[in-house]
Amino acid sequence: MTELLTAAQMRAIETAAIESGEVTGLELMERAGAGVVEAIFEEWPELAGADAAGGEGGIARPAEKGGVALHPALPDSPQDICEQKKFRAVVLCGPGNNGGDGFVVARLLRQRGWEVEVFLYGDAVKMPPDAKANYERWLENAGVHRWDDNFIEDTLDECDHDLVVDAVFGTGLTRLMPDDTERTWHGFVPRVFSWHQKDRPKYVAVDIPSGICSDSGRNLEGAFPTDLTVSFHRAKIGHYLLAKGPPDGGTLWCGKVVVKDIGLKDACIADAVRLFDPTISTLTKFSDTHKYSHGHALILAGGPGRTGAARMAARGALRVGAGLVTLAVPPAAQKEVAAQVTAIMLRQVGDATALAKVLEDARFNAIGLGPALGLDEDAAALVATALEAGRATVLDADALTLLAKDAALFAKLHDKCVLTPHAGEFKRLFPDIAAKLEAVPTKGPAYSKVDATREAAKRAGCLVLFKGPDTVIAAPDGRCSINSAQYERAAPWLATAGSGDVLTGFIAGLLARGIAPQQAAETAAWLHVECALDFGPGLIAEDLPEQLPNVLRRLLSRP
């Protein structure tokens, strides 16, 4: 599992390292800048070939026209810039240490023969010491343009730049983006070229795209979209919480996230959010051979014509490794279900009394309910009975709506429960928490999906799995992870009818195997995405359980 950090946690790690004397802030900044350059060349090797040309102390140029001249060695106009060299970069630096990293990047690119134009947002006099040191070092051989959105736009408009580096704001963004940086970005990105145009410059963000809150992934207005985000030591939570935005409304702000080691040691952060990746130990309870030692899951089905959801959940539970799976079916739907299942068993459960009777058998150690269960009083009574049984229980779909409608039912939730709401169900269950999440943020760190899920889990007293491409899984004690279906794990075809029902089954199956709720939910969510990735486009929900054997085989053969 990889820890995802907040800005404060990252700062604490950095401060501890500096205070212990093992590294200086300047060294960290140098490594950060070098990491960005390395990542750029790894991502686009075609940009790495300019070593020989130019270098420090390159061509002397006349004073700047658009902004105030901070150093005399600057071109007269954007046209003058265009007439020189083959690789060109614009580096946009901010007033803090993110800007300091930008000056390192600018220097290192220049050392490799690049033509680099630097724009500085803010007042150099007030820069923190390490950033200022790199600013001054840059001034020894080159100049800096004062921020001027029109001039930046003209510069990019008239030249064929290869790279734009965003080092304006990083983890220190604490309030909404200033108007002029927002204008810059929104002015030139759509006007100068289309985002999908192949020969446009590559956009690289240092640490996090400026405008994105590193703790929440939320856009503090005017975020800079990028192709590549290079972060340091550990990814930040904000990289993995969904923030879709311009230029096409479907691109993640971060583009792709690469994390570079800058020599900081791991610190033990008790409440760190983790990016989930399963360990084999999660699934190596395969040593017992008796089917009852793998548990017995009971999945509740809806009435006639509404049993498909439960059948898919049951198949998921069986495939993920529950020893036995029984569908609890209303008498009127029994024929319909019997005609379509084989390895899955059937029990007639007409009402809550019948369910209570079935649950007298202690071998039913996990329950899955909700998909197409219904929203009437009988369905509510089934939920109440299931909760009173105190078994490991996953509640989805209609069961969540019933919980939202009835405080007494909600109060029956216990610590072996798992709630699996999507955004709409989350809003019904926790309207006040959802309102905080939906409110337009005005400062950083902004309220995040992690904050919301943790608050919901605490209130419910059980595990909450808040679905999405950035699924957040939180326990009442604050333990929390993100299961990402983004970046290299993006599987948009997973958003298909019934896929949530299969997830319910996966969780129920793992609960039946005796895996604790948090681990079961995390592993199920991860497997769910893995199955979708394995299958690829064209996936329908029925395919998900059938993909599990491949995925499990691969997982279990990991070294």
DSSP per position, 392-414: EEEE-HHHHHHHHH-HHHHTT--
Helix, strand, coil share (%) of the chain residues, nearest 5: 40, 15, 40
Does 77 show up as a binding residue in the annotation?
A: no
Binding-site partner at residue 278 among ligand NPW, K ion, none, CB < 5 to 8 Å by type: none
* Cα separation, 508 vs 394, whole angstroms: 6
Q: Which stretch binds ligand NPW (CB under 6 A): 92-100, 109-117, 370-378, 549-557?
A: 92-100
Does 436 show up as a binding residue in the annotation?
A: no
* Cα separation, 459 vs 474, whole angstroms: 11
Does 210 show up as a binding residue in the annotation?
A: yes
Q: Which is nearer to K ion, 238 or 371 (CB)?
A: 238
Residues β-bridged to residue 393:
367, 417
In the block, which residue shows the tokens 């209570």? 356
Binding-site partner at residue 166 among ligand NPW, K ion, none, CB < 5 to 8 Å by type: K ion
Does 15 show up as a binding residue in the annotation?
A: no
Please select the residue that binds ligand NPW; options are 156, 177, 382, 384, rule is CB under 6 A. Answer: 177
Please select the residue that binds ligand NPW; options are 87, 119, 138, 169, rule is CB under 6 A. Answer: 169
Could you tell me the smallest distance in angstroms from the CB atom of residue 173 to K ion? 8
Q: Which stretch binds K ion (CB under 5 A): 161-169, 281-289, 408-416, 548-556?
A: 161-169
Please select the residue that binds ligand NPW; options are 178, 245, 476, 478, rule is CB under 6 A. Answer: 178
Q: Which stretch binds ligand NPW (CB under 6 A): 9-17, 339-347, 374-382, 523-531?
A: 9-17
Q: Which is nearer to ligand NPW, 83 or 123 (CB)?
A: 123
* Cα separation, 436 vs 444, whole angstroms: 14
Q: How many CA atoms lie within 13 A of 9 on its CB side?
A: 21
| Nearest to 470, CA basis, from 515, 437, 445 | 437
Q: Which is nearer to ligand NPW, 97 or 481 (CB)?
A: 97
**Which residues contact residue 251 at a Cβ distance below 8 angstroms, ignoring those fewer than 6 apart?**
195, 225, 244, 245
Distance of CA 393 to the CA centre of its chain: 27
Report how far apart, in Å, the C-alpha atoms of 403 and of each of 381, 395, 517, 553 are. Answer: 11, 9, 19, 37
Query: What Rg, from alpha-carbon coordinates, does the chain have?
Result: 27
Please select the residue that binds K ion; options are 205, 379, 399, 403, rule is CB under 5 A. Answer: 205
| Nearest to 26, CA basis, from 129, 125, 123, 116 | 129
Residues 19-58 that bind ligand NPW (CB under 6 A): 28-29, 32
Binding-site partner at residue 32 among ligand NPW, K ion, none, CB < 5 to 8 Å by type: ligand NPW
Could you tell me the smallest distance in angstroms from the CB atom of residue 391 to K ion? 48
Please select the residue that binds ligand NPW; options are 4, 10, 462, 507, rule is CB under 6 A. Answer: 10
| Contact assessment for residue 327 and residue 299, using Cβ atoms and an 8 Å cutoff | yes
Residues of this chain that bind ligand NPW (CB under 6 A):
10-11, 14, 28-29, 32, 94-101, 128, 169-178, 206-207, 232, 262
Residues flagged as binding site: 97-101, 166, 207, 210, 309, 422, 467-471, 500-501
Annotated binding site for (6S)-NADPHX: 97-101, 207, 309, 422, 501
